[in-house]
Amino acid sequence: YASYSAGFKAPVSSYFFIPATGQLNTGLRPERGDQIEIGTKGSVLGERLFYELAFFNIVYNDKMTAIAVPLSGSTTTTAYTYVAN
Protein backbone atom coordinates (compact mmCIF):
# COMPACT_ATOMS: atom_id res chain seq x y z
CA TYR A 1 0.00 0.00 0.00
CA ALA A 2 0.99 3.63 -0.41
CA SER A 3 -0.38 6.72 1.26
CA TYR A 4 0.20 10.46 1.00
CA SER A 5 -1.19 13.11 3.30
CA ALA A 6 -0.70 16.81 3.83
CA GLY A 7 -1.86 19.12 6.56
CA PHE A 8 -1.38 22.54 8.04
CA LYS A 9 -1.77 24.37 11.33
CA ALA A 10 -2.58 28.08 11.24
CA PRO A 11 -1.14 30.34 13.95
CA VAL A 12 -3.61 31.26 16.69
CA SER A 13 -4.50 34.90 17.24
CA SER A 14 -2.48 35.18 20.47
CA TYR A 15 0.74 34.57 18.48
CA PHE A 16 0.32 37.83 16.51
CA PHE A 17 0.75 40.26 19.41
CA ILE A 18 3.75 40.44 21.75
CA PRO A 19 2.39 42.08 24.94
CA ALA A 20 5.82 42.78 26.48
CA THR A 21 6.89 44.95 23.54
CA GLY A 22 3.54 46.06 22.11
CA GLN A 23 4.64 44.89 18.64
CA LEU A 24 2.71 42.88 16.09
CA ASN A 25 4.23 39.60 14.94
CA THR A 26 3.16 39.85 11.29
CA GLY A 27 5.65 37.45 9.68
CA LEU A 28 4.01 34.20 10.85
CA ARG A 29 3.04 31.59 8.25
CA PRO A 30 1.01 28.40 8.77
CA GLU A 31 2.96 25.21 9.51
CA ARG A 32 2.70 22.61 6.77
CA GLY A 33 3.49 18.93 6.82
CA ASP A 34 3.69 16.40 3.97
CA GLN A 35 3.89 12.68 4.71
CA ILE A 36 4.35 9.68 2.46
CA GLU A 37 4.03 6.09 3.65
CA ILE A 38 4.78 2.89 1.74
CA GLY A 39 4.29 -0.55 3.20
CA THR A 40 3.12 -4.10 2.99
CA LYS A 41 1.21 -6.50 5.22
CA GLY A 42 0.14 -10.07 4.95
CA SER A 43 0.60 -13.57 6.29
CA VAL A 44 3.04 -16.41 5.75
CA LEU A 45 3.41 -20.03 6.87
CA GLY A 46 -0.18 -20.92 6.15
CA GLU A 47 -1.58 -17.85 7.94
CA ARG A 48 0.29 -18.72 11.15
CA LEU A 49 2.50 -15.63 11.01
CA PHE A 50 1.15 -12.18 10.20
CA TYR A 51 3.44 -9.27 9.37
CA GLU A 52 3.28 -5.57 8.66
CA LEU A 53 6.19 -3.48 7.37
CA ALA A 54 5.96 0.23 6.70
CA PHE A 55 8.32 3.07 5.80
CA PHE A 56 7.33 6.68 6.12
CA ASN A 57 8.81 10.12 5.75
CA ILE A 58 7.41 13.43 6.93
CA VAL A 59 8.67 16.90 6.05
CA TYR A 60 7.62 20.04 7.93
CA ASN A 61 7.79 23.52 6.45
CA ASP A 62 7.48 26.83 8.31
CA LYS A 63 7.51 25.11 11.70
CA MET A 64 6.47 27.47 14.51
CA THR A 65 8.66 27.60 17.61
CA ALA A 66 8.72 29.64 20.81
CA ILE A 67 11.63 32.07 21.17
CA ALA A 68 12.61 33.03 24.74
CA VAL A 69 14.02 36.53 25.22
CA PRO A 70 16.25 36.75 28.32
CA LEU A 71 15.78 39.46 30.92
CA SER A 72 18.36 42.22 30.46
CA GLY A 73 21.55 41.31 32.34
CA SER A 74 20.33 37.78 33.20
CA THR A 75 21.20 34.42 31.69
CA THR A 76 18.59 32.38 33.56
CA THR A 77 15.42 34.55 33.62
CA THR A 78 13.12 34.92 30.64
CA ALA A 79 11.59 38.35 30.09
CA TYR A 80 9.02 37.17 27.50
CA THR A 81 8.51 34.69 24.69
CA TYR A 82 7.15 34.98 21.18
CA VAL A 83 6.46 32.56 18.33
CA ALA A 84 8.36 32.58 15.03
CA ASN A 85 8.71 30.33 11.96
pTM, entire model: 0.64
Phi, psi of 47 (to 5 degrees): 60, 25
pLDDT in the model for residue 59: 96
| Distance (Å) of CA 80 to CA 8, 15, 54, 58, 65 | 26, 13, 43, 31, 14
Domain span at 34? 2-84
Banded model confidence at residue 71, pLDDT cuts 50, 70, 90 = confident
Name the domain count of the chain. Answer: 1
